[in-house]
Amino acid sequence: MPLVVFNQKGGVGKSTITCNLAAISASQGLRTLVIDLDQQGNSSSYLMGDSATDAQPSVAGFFENTLSFSLRNVAPGEYIVSTPHEGLDLMPSSPALDELQGKLESRHKLYKLREALQKLGETYDRIYIDTPPALNFYTRSALIAATGCLIPFDCDEFSRKALYTLMENVEEIRADHNPDLAVEGIVVNQFQPRANLPQRVVQELIDEGLPVLQPYLPSSVRIRESHEQSLPMIYMDPNHKLTLALVELHEALEAGRAG
């Protein structure tokens, strides 16, 4: 069940949520893969640190080979690397994604990632996809390939306005390309429970019937340390309040899968 983490607004925690949920899956014994479709490569750096290099296999290499061969000759596993964390693999990002985008669009390669994930689903129990902050070719490919979509939300009015457009975009892709795609929910990130604005904005989303997930992820400087150390929270500080909230969120998503 591939899960894509998507928001057209930058800085809302897509990579943080992707990598931490994936790390929790791996820590629970699930064979887990992260696919980093954002050319900034934040998820790749978070999981690999300084060992993330342009020379390694990458998702750009996968897409480039789809331009030359039929997918039966493109083994997606060749573009995956092991992370330092047991059970957690990565298909890294690459700056080459940007220059490839026009070629992929003109050759109508939107479905190649979905075909690859059907193969990779035989190897991995969980697949998480990090996306760029734009509805571009790579984001559309991910939404077409996934069965679930998580939407990070950082509790300000700009995010709220963008949220409605985002939900419409996801629904359009579901209607036109991927009837199996479902919005798993909105992940409230950087939540400050003592501030009035975040509480009011989130409550209004709930009152509108939008699928806001519990728990909300608290704001913490510890996550910056996690980024600097290239160590997801479950490995760096398993008893921290943010880690516990992430584990609870992971459990809620797993319960939804089981349901």
| DSSP H or E segment with residue 18 | helix 14-27
71-96 burial, b if ≥16 CB within 10 A, otherwise e?
A: beebebbebbbebebebbbbbbbbeb
- At residue 105, the 3 state secondary structure works out as helix
DSSP state of 77: G
Residue 70 belongs to domain with CATH number: 3.40.50.300
Tokens of 41: 């490569």
H helix intervals, 50-95: 59-66
Euclidean distance between CA atoms 146 and 166, whole angstroms: 16
DSSP state of 12: S
Which residues are bridge partners to 82 per DSSP? 89
The domain in which residue 124 lies consists of: 3-258
pTM above 0.85, yes or no: yes
* pLDDT tens readout for residues 100-153: 999 999 999 999 999 999 999 999 999 999 999 999 999 999 999 999 999 999
Cβ–Cβ under 8 Å, residues 27 and 73: no
pLDDT-derived band at 259 (thresholds 50, 70, 90) equals: low
Portion of the chain with pLDDT greater than 90, in percent: 82
Q: Residue 69 has what pLDDT? A: 59
Euclidean distance between CA atoms 47 and 23, whole angstroms: 9
Number of domains in the chain: 1
For the chain, state the CA radius of gyration: 17
Q: Which of 88-92, 152-156, 184-188 has the weakest average pLDDT?
A: 152-156
* pLDDT tens readout for residues 199-247: 999 999 999 999 999 999 999 999 999 999 999 999 999 999 999 999 9
